[in-house]
Amino acid sequence: MAGLTLGRGAGRIRRSHPPAKGALVKRILAALVVVALSSPAWAGPPSAAEAPALYKKSCASCHGAEGKGGTARAIAGKPASAVAGVVNAHAPPMDKLELTPDQIAAIGRYVSSLKK
């Protein structure tokens, strides 16, 4: 019910204050710039220092905090290229990960550095 009320309110505001077309375009462009700048593709190659955080965010939930296994098998100490290869192949359930090739390579090096 709250959502419905909010929706109607928003519609009324938009009707009584239609933004000028130019202003709307400017706002959309500004939003696109923000999205582009915050997307990983523009962040440059991740440093090795970022890899642990990337691993924790993208992999630890299944492979364990130290790569020793969880719901999925242990991957600690596997060769970096093998790890990156698996992730690059986007094998399910890893197909949902949104990582750049640079990030995947950094994660691969990090995983290979973990003790088995």
The contact set with ligand HEC (CB under 6 A) reads 58-59, 61-63, 72-73, 75, 78, 83, 86-87, 93-94, 97, 107, 111
Q: How far is the CB of 107 from ligand HEC (least distance, A)?
A: 5
Give the span between the Cα atoms of 28 and 73, in whole angstroms. 45
Dihedral sign from CA coordinates of 55, 59, 61, 66 = negative
SS (H, E, C) 89-105: CCCCCHHHCCCCHHHHH
Min CB(37)–ligand HEC separation in Å: 24
Q: Which is nearer to ligand HEC, 11 or 69 (CB)?
A: 69
CA distance 14 to 116: 59
Q: Quick one: 46 or 87, whose CB is closer to ligand HEC?
A: 87
Q: Nearest approach, Cβ of 45 to ligand HEC (angstroms)?
A: 16
How far is it between the farthest Cα atoms of the chain?
A: 64
User: In angstroms, what is the minimal distance from the CB of 39 to ligand HEC?
Assistant: 18
**Amino acid letter at 47?**
S
- 46 vs 58, beta carbon nearer ligand HEC: 58
